[in-house]
Amino acid sequence: MNTSSQQNTIHESTMTTERQTRCFEAYMNVYKGQAYSSKEHEGWIQDMMRQYPELCQTTLVYHTEDRQDGYYDQRFGRRIYGTDDKIIDCLKYPIPVYWGRPMTDMFDWGAVHRGLGYNEAVASSMPEELRDTVRYAIVGKVKVKAHGDLPERDSHVIHTEGVNLETSETAAFKAMITDERDSSDIMHEYFNRHRAMLKLIIEAAMTQTKEGERAFIQAPMIGAGCFLSGIPGTGLNINDFLQQQIAAMVSVLNMAPREYKFTYKLCIFNTEEFNNDIIAAYQKIADEDKRFELGLNKGGGNVLSNVPFANPNQKVFVVNAGDLRSCIGNGMSNENSVEGFIVANAKGYNPQWQNTSFLHNPYFNPDMFRPKESEERGHQVWKETMAW
């Protein structure tokens, strides 16, 4: 198939098997190395995609508080981005592998253009400070591959992004940590941003549950660890940021509507990375709130282990600490992080969790780019959060 016909196949709205196969091939061609930890895993993903097309059907959830309409500014002769514009730009034009900068040794811009129809200039056209105002989560079904005594299982994955303060060059860092702001103002802003992320996770799970069902959310400690590695040297205390995360968790547990039936399990893989008071505070929440559980260290803190699949009337949601600037999966098999482990079984560390969440990349679900048209056809792919 020539380049123009392949792009037409990728961008057509009907999710035929041929179209989805071409889309998968287009994505795989983008990576210079092996995308998955094994070719067998990659082949199984394609088989699942053909057998279960619903695995590509995702829902995007964004904050109703962020809602604003775009318009054309006659004075300056340019369009002002609205919420829809910013989200669609993020969905359509990701930098495939982004570790604080485009990792062009790991992907091919030529293959991006040939397969997905955009180039580096287009991907960089929206200013980073506008991207920083976009908050959303993508959620969808996954199949989990049989492994050992474990049968093939059904689950869900929620993809969202924490507050990224990895370096002084991130958009969030530049927006939040300035000379004009004192520490209390910075902490207030950080609390609001982290709370918004937790709320998105809960709301995303609620979009997939029916009456009589409960959501079990299993999440890593998004926003900690490397997310805060840009803080030393600023005069701010990392522990203060972690305390704001705790306060945000308490807030969402207290404020989430009572009709929301969920359990939020926070997984902390290595408690030695944190002060004892941080762990004790989370343990206190677990003791006092039945909607919160705490998993610690290798025994209970691996977000990809001890996933409770067997409970009736309960849907399971594993949370991917992703990067909305990249494709879902980011560096894939070379991504030595939660995202790589969840999406591509990076390093082969979690064979019990080989799954189909890579199919949540937006080009597999073209309705994501046309939410209003999709809603007019009776299929709502974008949803706003409730106000709470």
**139 sits in which H/E element:** strand 136-144
Tell me, what's the pLDDT at 9?
47
Q: Which residue has the higher pLDDT, 133 or 24?
A: 24
Residue range 109-119: mean pLDDT, rounded: 97
Give the model's pLDDT for residue 30.
97
Banded pLDDT at 7 (limits 50, 70, 90) = very low
Contacts of 72 (CB under 8 A, 6+ apart): 78, 79, 80
Q: Cα–Cα distance between 87 and 136 in angstroms, integer?
A: 8
**For 315-340, what is the mean pLDDT?**
95
* Pairwise pLDDT comparison (78 vs 298), residue with the higher score: 298
Six-digit token pair at 27?
């994505």
Mean pLDDT value of segment 16-32: 96
Closest by Cα among 155, 202, 161 to 352:
155
Mean pLDDT to the nearest integer, 234-247: 97
Average pLDDT for the chain: 92
User: Does residue 143 contact residue 52 with C-beta atoms inside 8 Å?
Assistant: yes
pLDDT, one tens digit per residue, over 329-348 is 999 999 999 999 999 999 89
State the pTM of this model.
0.94
Query: pLDDT of 130-161, one tens digit each?
Result: 888 889 999 999 999 999 999 999 999 999 99
According to DSSP H, which parts of 207-352 are helical? 238-255, 276-288, 297-300, 338-344
Please answer whether residues 231 and 241 qualify as being in contact, where contact means their C-beta atoms are separated by less than 8 angstroms: yes
